Amino acid sequence: MLGISDLSISLAYILCIASALLCLIYGIIMWNKGGGDAEEIEMAEEAKWQEKENIIDGKL
């Protein structure tokens, strides 16, 4: 039934279930860990871009 008698098929089933469980555990652990550093860097880059944009608009 389901081809589980073969070792390679049963190994594929086991590995699929194991990888799904590992992804679930990783997601639970990393749930609220934000990329605060990345957000700060993006905000700084956006502020620099906005300053350049204001200078360009002022010259026009």
Q: Would the pTM count as exceeding 0.75?
A: no
Q: How far apart are CA 42 and CA 45, in angstroms?
A: 5
pLDDT tens-place string over residues 4-34: 788 888 899 999 999 999 999 999 998 877 6
Burial 27-58 (b: 16+ CB within 10 A, else e): eeeeeeeeeeeeeeeeeeeeeeeeeeeeeeee
pLDDT of residue 33: 78
Residue 2 in this model has a pLDDT that exceeds 70:
no
pLDDT of residue 36: 63
Q: How far apart are CA 23 and CA 31, in angstroms?
A: 12
